[in-house]
């Protein structure tokens, strides 16, 4: 089974991410979920550690019965000219990249990868930014993420972590 690469920060993993994974798996790929900026955590933009994000994704996909996936943390190297080589050295061989990010698209295209646009699902709400904003403002963020993600965030007391960082 060929592998497709899906890169994101997953801060946190939300329903839009889940649908993207389902779509890619539905096309017959095993999906390599690269957790970008793996070194970041405890900021408003990047509240969760790579390990916490790993757990969110693994539990959400288990609930959905999805098995053809791998989760791999990718620490930033802050040098885009060698970033694709960095990713290549950490993941098993991939056939295609799914992305809507222009930089990711550009970098993998320059290295002759096939990059496919990822279908977007109500991007105005299924977005990490929106989820984090709702957590801060006390709105319903739970409806935007899989139940397993709600549970992980609760277990690590994640709402308090984020709201404390707001001051």
Looking at the Cβ atoms of 89 and 140, the one nearer to a second copy is 89
How many Å apart are CA 45 and CA 81, to the nearest integer?
Answer: 24
Is the Cβ–Cβ distance between 31 and 68 less than 8 Å? yes
**Secondary structure letter of residue 35 according to DSSP:** E
Among 65, 93, 112, 117, binds a second copy (CB under 8 A): 93
Answer yes or no whether residue 103 interacts with a second copy by CB under 8 A: yes
Contact residue for a second copy among 26, 27, 43, 143 (CB under 8 A)? 43
State how far the Cα of 132 lies from the Cα of 138, in Å rounded to an integer. Answer: 10
Q: Which is nearer to a second copy, 132 or 143 (CB)?
A: 132
Question: How far apart are the C-alpha atoms of 126 and 137, rounded to whole Å?
Answer: 16
**x-marked contacts with a second copy along 106-135 as a string, rule CB under 8 A:** xx----------------------------
In the complex, least distance from residue 12 CB atom to a second copy, rounded to whole angstroms: 14
Query: Of the listed pieces 8-16, 70-78, 128-136, 143-151, which binds a second copy according to CB under 8 A?
Result: 70-78
Interface with a second copy (CB under 8 A), residue from 26, 27, 28, 82? 82
Distance CA 128, CA 144 (A): 9
Secondary structure class of 70 (helix, strand, coil): strand
Q: List residues near a second copy by CB under 8 A.
A: 38-43, 49-52, 54-55, 58, 67, 70-73, 75, 78-82, 84-86, 88-93, 102-103, 105-107, 161, 164-167
């Amino acid at each position: 089974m060929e592998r497709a690469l899906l890169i994101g920060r997953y801060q946190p993993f939300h329903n839009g991410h889940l649908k993207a994974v389902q779509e890619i798996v539905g096309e017959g790929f095993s999906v390599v979920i690269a957790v970008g900026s793996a070194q970041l955590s405890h900021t408003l933009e990047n509240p969760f550690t790579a390990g916490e994000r790993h757990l969110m994704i693994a539990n959400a996909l288990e609930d959905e019965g999805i098995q053809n996936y791998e989760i791999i943390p990718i620490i930033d190297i802050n040098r885009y000219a060698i970033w694709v080589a960095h990713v290549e050295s950490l993941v098993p061989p991939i056939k295609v990249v799914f992305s809507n990010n222009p930089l990711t698209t550009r970098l993998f295209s320059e290295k002759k990868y096939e990059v496919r646009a990822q279908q977007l699902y109500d991007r105005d709400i299924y977005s990490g930014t929106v989820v984090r904003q709702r957590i801060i403002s006390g709105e319903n963020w739970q409806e935007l993420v899989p139940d397993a993600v709600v549970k992980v965030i609760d277990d690590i007391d994640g709402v308090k972590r984020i709201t404390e960082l707001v001051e």
